Structures are given as C-alpha cells and as structure tokens.
Structure 1
C-alpha cells in the first residue's frame, strides 16, 4: 500500500515543507482567516478557490488550474520535486486531499496528508505562529503523471464502453440516485457509475485507515480494476481517491471536472434510479 497519510505522532516538523489548506465551502474566507490567526510554522497557505482551482473556467464548479499556474504556485511556495511535504486542513476534510492529489499529479511523490487536523496538531505541540513565511522561490519543473488524471474525454470513453474503468461517484446516495440535488441544475449520475459516499471514509473527525473502509471498498470495486472517481465538483472525490491509494488501488484516476462538468454540455446523458 502507498503511504498517503501520516500521523502527527510520527512527524518531525523540521524535516517537512508544510502546506495549510483549511477552507470552508460555506465561507470562502474562513480558511485564510484561520491561517492568518495561527498555522504550523513555515506553512504556506493554498486556497481552494484561488490556488487549487481555476474559477474562471467553465469545466465544473472547481476546475483544475492550468499547468503553468500550478507550476508558479509550486515555485513561489519554495518547493523542490524531492521535498518531503505535508498538507493539512481541519481533519477529515477534502481540501488537503485535493492539494495532495495535485502534488502527486505534478510528481511530488514525497507529499503526504496529515491524518489529524490543525487542532490536534496544536494540542500535540507542533510549532505554530502567525507569521507568513517567505519561502525562497525555486525553479522546479513538475513531472506530470497523466495516469492519475481523468479528463472529460476519458470519462466519455468509459461511458461509451471504449475504456475499461469503474466510475465511482463519491456523493451521497440521494444525489447519486438523483432523488435530491441541492447544487447542480440536473439531478442524476454519470451513466454506469457506482456509488461510495465519501462521508463513509471518516471516523472521529479524521479519515479511517483501519480495515473497515478497505472491506467496504472491496464490496464495490476490486483493487486490480482501474477506477475513476468523481463527485459534484471534484473536491470531495479527492478523499476517495486518497483512500483508494492507501488501500492498494494502484490504477485510480480523478475526474476533476466531475458531475458539474459532465452536465455542462447540452444533450449529455445521465442516469437516475
């Protein structure tokens, strides 16, 4: 199994570069406000909408930034390709996993997700302050891994039966079945998709790394299969991707545009129960 998550009890602060990704989908300023008040010493702040998404695009509600934009983010954050990097949020949230997936996509293979959230880090005595760091700019060149990224065209091929991959929807069962859709204008799911609500991945304010999640995943998709995960906007699918990798699913992809991108084109097919 790949090492995806690290626990604060195993962390030597000085050995890592730190990225704070706290955010709230209900209040877009909340994460930055928390960071300004206190953060892990040396941590840079990556905002879901300003840094980890390109909100000017129409490819879903949280579209992926251009590679050039991401490269600039990595360089201004002082990152080198072999750095040991830890991303954190408030624990059991999708934001650190989104940042981690982007780091993995860019070839930062020594990047990890803090299992516990910021409050647990504070209680554990990790060094904190409220000073914005001044990282030295690097000239890092990402090594993009296209095998973990699913563009819309890949999903279209899956739906058409041209590509063998299991589509896995990370939304709630109600939204998956098309019974309730509080956000997107069309209810339903991508045709042929199976369901695994990302909320099932959590236990006590953190992601559940014991065998229970692995057993649940095995009832839906086999580890040897390729699996393409999506959600509403590509954010809450990131935890599902991370837990798949943690549990030995080597052929996993993330459809960043997700359902909100899928339904953005006229005449597209959806399924409902």
Structure 2
C-alpha cells in the first residue's frame, strides 16, 4: 500500500496515532533509540522488556557512533558501511536503490523511518540526522516518545526478524565540520557557533562528563531542551521559528554540544524553523577540549 509521507516529512514528526495506523505498512520502519549516558546498557534492557511492535533497536554507542580515540569526541560518527548494513537489515529502501541495483524492482516509495526515544528527542534526533547525512530524507521522529506511546497503545517484547532492504548511502559531507574548519570559520562575519548544552555547562559552572568545563570561544547558547516540552512533545512551528529568529538570516550556523548527539535536536529544530543549511561539529566540546 502506497502512503503519502509528505505531511510527516514537512513537520518532521509523526503522532502515536499515525504510527499505530501504519504499524503493518511495509513502507514504514521503526527505530528504537532509547539510551542513557549514565547507564549505557539501559536502553537495550528497556527494548528487550517492551518496545513498539516491529521496532528495531539502535544503540547510541554501538550503532550510532564509531570507535572513540584520543581526539574526535566521545561519540564519533559511525562507519557508513556498518550503519548501512544495519539499515538494510531493518528493511530500509532508499529512493535510488533500484537505479543503482537493477535487480531490485518495484520498490515503490523510499521507506519512511520513524525514530523514537524517551529522552525528548536526544537520541532519536541523532538517528534522524545520521539518515539525512547519509542522504535519506524520509525520516521522522515520534511525538512524545515511548512513554506517550505506552500510555495509549500496545507494546511488545518480540524481537522482529531481520529484513532485506536496499538502502544506498549518499554521504552529505557538507553537513559536517571538523575542528580545524570550526577554528577557521567560527569568528567570520555572518557565522554563528551554537552550543546546545544546558546553560550551566555552557558557562563552565558544571561539567559532569568531559575533563574540562567551558565552551568554545565565541559560541552562543541555545539549550537543546528548549525544542520540546518536558513531556517530549515538540513545540509548535511558530515557537521554533521564534526561538531561532535572531539567526534566521545569518550566513552559516555551526552547531555543537558535548559529543555531537544532542546538537542534533537543535539541528532538527532549525530544520523545522526553515533554516536548512546548519552544520554539525560532530566532535563538539569533547573533541575541542581534548586539545586544551
């Protein structure tokens, strides 16, 4: 059954009601991205206990990040090939799959991938951003996360069988900047560097994770939690636009956080607000302070 994804793609989110009505649709795949920085195995345990029926688990450390080194931050971007195989195993088809592999026929529309977490988009937005980085625009986030779903719809502990997708990555390298590019561009006229962490971490009053407190010189602070309500509902389009009004006409926006994860919530919000060319510094403060 062909479905029209346009409304969901424009808003960037889907409701629990919409997802419930499309649980059995072969053009929809679901990614459970629950995670806890304080307890890295918690998300996996939660998934095994109960999840949205048909959802596949994506672990921040194992699936959505690469190996950690001396530099590069606490959550480097994952290996493209490895993530591609995982996306194929949950049945994701990309719009160009049949063009690049003539053996694949009648795939129809690209798969709409719905990501969710229970952390106000903190980890689902990382998944959302990664798919777009790999050239797959058909990805959205579930409004309200798992808690909202669980309060209204059935859950399951059944682990779905692997599928055979045809996802073909097309890396959008212009969406990221490394530390040298950030250094050379951040102080130029028309460039704004956005720190996505909580205000006290930005100001250097508290640093629970990284060895050095503070922020990159010249950065302005837009905490990622402002994108959603405390219940995990995304704020309205008007609120998103108002939130970013001062940056609506700057030439370039570079976004970072502690390790390139929650910065993606701000990138999601910027996209909602119509600001579509903001870039991610994946290493973020954890990379920057590793050189201090």
Secondary structure, counterpart of 2:225 in structure 1: helix
Q: Which of the numbers 88, 96, 99 marks the counterpart of 2:127?
A: 99
8 Å contact kept, 1:91–1:205: no
**TM-score (norm: length of structure 2):** 0.83
* Shift in Å, 1:224: 5.3
Partner of 1:167: 193
Partner of 1:261: 287
1:45 equivalent in alignment to 2:45: no
8 Å contact kept, 2:54–2:159: yes
CA distance in 2, matches of 1:128, 1:223: 44
CA distance in 2, matches of 1:77, 1:14: 14
Partner of 1:270: none
Secondary structure, counterpart of 1:40 in structure 2: coil
8 Å contact kept, 2:35–2:41: yes
Q: Which of the numbers 4, 12, 15 marks the counterpart of 1:4?
A: 12
Q: Which of the numbers 222, 239, 262 marks the counterpart of 1:212?
A: 239
> Structure 1 stretches of 5 or more lacking a match?
267-273
Partner of 1:114: 142
1:141-191 CA distance string (max 9 Å, x none): 211122322233331221363x85311001122222223323222222112
Partner of 1:54: 66
Q: Which of the numbers 15, 35, 38 marks the counterpart of 1:26?
A: 38
> Structure 2 stretches of 5 or more lacking a match?
1-8, 95-109
1:66 equivalent in alignment to 2:99: no
Structure 2 CA distance for partners of 1:2 and 1:194, relative to 1, 3 Å: farther
CA distance in 1, matches of 2:18, 2:166: 30
CA distance in 2, matches of 1:47, 1:146: 23
* Shift in Å, 1:100: 0.8
- How big is the alpha-carbon RMSD for the aligned residues of Structure 1 and Structure 2? 2.1
**TM-score (norm: length of structure 1):** 0.88
Tell which deviates more after alignment, 225-234 or 74-83.
Answer: 74-83
Partner of 1:79: 92
1:224-268 CA distance string (max 9 Å, x none): 5421110011111111111111111111111111011112225xx
Secondary structure, counterpart of 1:167 in structure 2: strand
Partner of 1:35: 47
CA distance in 2, matches of 1:223, 1:112: 26
8 Å contact kept, 1:83–1:108: no
1:202 equivalent in alignment to 2:215: no
Secondary structure, counterpart of 2:11 in structure 1: coil
Secondary structure, counterpart of 1:175 in structure 2: helix
CA distance in 2, matches of 1:192, 1:251: 20
8 Å contact kept, 1:2–1:245: no
* Shift in Å, 1:99: 0.8
Q: Which of the numbers 4, 7, 13 marks the counterpart of 2:23?
A: 13
Partner of 2:269: 243
1:16-62 CA distance string (max 9 Å, x none): 11000111111111111111011112111000111111243341111
